[in-house]
Amino acid sequence: MNYQDEFRDKELVQGLAERLHRRVAGCGRTMTFMEVCGTHTMAIYRFGLRSLLPPEIRLVSGPGCPVCVTPNGYLDRAIAICRLPDVITVTFGDMMRVPGSSSSLLVERARGADIRIVYSPLDAVAIAEKNRDKRVVFLGVGFETTAPTVAGSILAAGAKGLNNYFVLAATKTINIPMQVLAADPEIGIDG
């Protein structure tokens, strides 16, 4: 059985759900868990996970992923940059549909802007290395967990002597918002 098949194994899923039900049965209170990102919320609904949870577990939606909470001003700057001549804009795929004030990266790519999707900031460095005659701008959007990889891409570009690699950073921290939310007695988050 491969990794993906595990999550399609009806008996395994039912067994885990039953184990969870037994574990929280009789706990005497509702436990509230927060999913942070809209992608989490969508996965929970898509796979019917709420229907598997015992009534003692309540899910609430959280502050949103770094993409979802990216301000229009950042997107407007990214869109302005991708419209410049001799620029390759590089981004994670989840940024493509996020709207700015008047457009999105998806719309701009359809209009002819050179916008490329990568899975790692180091992929953006490789694009800069292959296209030294163009400015390559990586849209560094993410939580603090993304910051080290973006910083690593800047160091890698420097080590390769690339003067055409740029980062438009928009790193957000999740620790402080989660501490505030977790401490709010009205929300009552357990995890």
From the CB of residue 167, how many other CB atoms can be counted at a distance below 10 Å? Answer: 18
User: Which helix (H) or strand (E) is 71 found in, with range?
Assistant: none
Phi, psi of 138 (to 5 degrees): -90, 130
Give the pairing type, strands 114-117 and 57-61.
unpaired
Distance CA 36, CA 38 (A): 7
The pLDDT of residue 148 is 92
pTM, full prediction: 0.71
The pLDDT of residue 82 is 97
The pLDDT of residue 151 is 95
What residue type is 167 in one-letter code?
V
Cα-to-chain-centroid distance, residue 159: 28
- CA quadruple 42, 186, 53, 45: dihedral, nearest 10: -10
125 in Cβ contact with 118 (< 8 Å): no
83 in Cβ contact with 110 (< 8 Å): no
Q: What is the pLDDT along the chain (191 residues), one digit of tens a residue?
A: 554 555 578 888 888 888 888 888 888 888 888 887 777 777 788 888 888 888 888 888 777 677 777 888 999 999 999 999 999 999 998 889 888 999 999 999 999 999 999 999 999 999 999 999 999 999 999 888 888 999 999 999 999 999 999 999 998 887 787 888 888 888 888 88
Residues 6+ apart with CB under 8 A from 121: 138, 140, 149, 150, 152, 153, 167
The pLDDT of residue 2 is 53
Strand ranges of the sheet holding 135-143, from the earlier edge strand across to the other edge: 114-117, 87-91, 135-143, 165-172
The pLDDT of residue 6 is 56
Distance CA 165, CA 132 (A): 9
Domains of the chain, earliest start first: 3-63+178-183 (3.40.50.11750), 72-172 (3.40.50.11740)
